[in-house]
Amino acid sequence: MAAVSSPLRVCRGILKELRALKGPEYKRTLAYNYVLDQFRKNQVSSERYCRAQKEALHSSQSYLCLLASSRCHVALHKLYHGKGERGPDEVADIVGLRLPTQPGGKGWEK
Amino acid sequence: MWRSLVRLQCQARVALSARYGRARLPVLWHAADLSIATSERKKFYQDVNISQREDGLFEINLDRRKLKTPGGKLFTVPNEALAVAVATEWDVQKDTLKFYTMNLTTLCNTALDNPTQRDKEQIIAAALKFLETDTIWYNVIIGSSSSIMGPQITEETKDTFRQHLGSYNFWALTGLEFVITQLKSLVLSFALVDRHLTVEQAVLLSRLEEEYQIQRWGNVEWAHDYDMYELRARTAAGTLFVHLSSESSSVKRKLLQD
């Protein structure tokens, strides 16, 4: 049942995720070089069904899933759960009120 | 119903290993300017690198300092792939450190420190508890039940599973137990670790009931998708951890026969 995508897709996916995470200097990260290296190494195999190749492909798919889902999770968190509380002046603004201002500062402020 | 019951049971264990990496890490950092334990820490380094020691273990270096576990031990991993993945987790942090995104680091910390002082048998026993409440339709060898109580699992079956679980090393077992806790199913976890399923498929099967309800009643992004992505991230981290902890790699060069 394991629907495996091609190694090319997985490799490009991982590199895209790294670029999304790191920005323009993603090519200098450890992960970039390591991933490309591993994909190149596992390309050539004399066996018709190479178990090590399949295993490496599955691991790389897992890593792609890890990167992609972490990114989506953090994005959703920021979108829905990241706002925190509103300050008192915002809360007052919602119902159309304004907080009073004291020109001399409040009693406990310097 | 079973799933929610078991989830309640295991909330503590998941929270322990998740919180362990999150809250204690800042406290035990030996820096002079460190303040009280906060769950928010600023990113205090620029570069992340890995280095290999004489005994073959890899370490992570943040600027010039070596990464340590919350328990104070030096953070070492047995292979390069895991080291690169952990280093990347630290590398992609921006401004503040979000420990809940660093699943692999947390797993390594748990394996290195073993904060609850468990040995292999205890981990295996904890994992086997999920067998009785596994809601996946499996082969009759294990059992099936149409009543609410669940199937009676024979001791033989438990022993077979126990033996199989015992064949993993301690690190792989920590990761495997984490995956089982996330997916709430032994059968699915084994299928995933044996590479019959991808992570997305395993998560889908684990949430089958929720997916059915979503198709019936609609999707709520801030709850359903949020949970799904978190589950996927954790399961992917766990399964990657298991695979990387039990692999051994060698390069064989063969000459072409002309």
Which residues of chain A from 56 to 75 reach within 8 Å of chain B, CB to CB? 58-59, 61-63, 65-66, 69-70, 72-74
Across the interface, whether the CB atoms of B233 and A66 are under 8 A apart is answered yes
Domain count, chain A: 1
Cβ–Cβ under 8 Å, residues B192 and B183: yes
B182 shares contact with chain A (CB less than 8 Å)? no
User: What is the SS3 assignment for chain A?
Assistant: CCCCCCHHHHHHHHHHHHHHHHCHHHHHCHHHHHHHHHHHHCCCCCCCCCHHHHHHHHHHHHHHHHHHHHHHHHHHHHHHHCCCCCCHHHHHHHCCCCCCCCCCCCCCCC
Q: Residue B249 above 90 pLDDT?
A: no
The answer to whether position A96 is within a domain reads no
How high is the pLDDT of residue A1? Answer: 52
Q: Would you state the structure tokens that stand for residue B137, as one six-digit string?
A: 């339709």
In chain B, residues with a C-beta closer than 8 Å to the C-beta of A69 are 229-230, 232-233, 236
C-alpha B25/C-alpha B36 separation (Å) is 12
Q: Positive or negative, the Cα torsion across B10, B14, B15, B20?
A: positive
The answer to whether position A90 is within a domain reads no
How high is the pLDDT of residue B216? Answer: 93
Q: Report residue B145's pLDDT band, with 50, 70 and 90 as the boundaries.
A: low
C-alpha B97/C-alpha B99 separation (Å) is 6
The answer to whether position A15 is within a domain reads yes
Task: Compute the average pLDDT of residues B140-167.
Answer: 72
In chain B, residues with a C-beta closer than 8 Å to the C-beta of A62 are 198-199, 236, 239-240, 243
C-alpha B73/C-alpha B76 separation (Å) is 9
The answer to whether position A57 is within a domain reads yes
The answer to whether position A36 is within a domain reads yes
**Number of Cβ atoms within 10 Å of the Cβ of B126:** 16
Q: What's the distance, CA B49 to chain centroid?
A: 23
The residues near B161 (Cβ < 8 Å, ≥ 6 apart) are B128, B131, B186
Task: Compute the average pLDDT of residues A74-84.
Answer: 88
How high is the pLDDT of residue B202? Answer: 93
How high is the pLDDT of residue B95? Answer: 87
- Give me the count of residues in chain B: 258
The answer to whether position A29 is within a domain reads yes
pLDDT digits (tens, 9 = 90+) for B73-113: 999 999 899 999 999 999 999 888 989 899 999 999 999 98
Q: Would you state the structure tokens that stand for residue B108, as one six-digit string?
A: 């390594």
The answer to whether position A28 is within a domain reads yes
Across the interface, whether the CB atoms of B226 and A66 are under 8 A apart is answered no
Q: Which domain holds residue A33?
A: 7-43+51-81
The answer to whether position A22 is within a domain reads yes
B201 CB burial (10 A radius; 0-12, 13-18, 19+):
middle
pTM above 0.90, yes or no: no
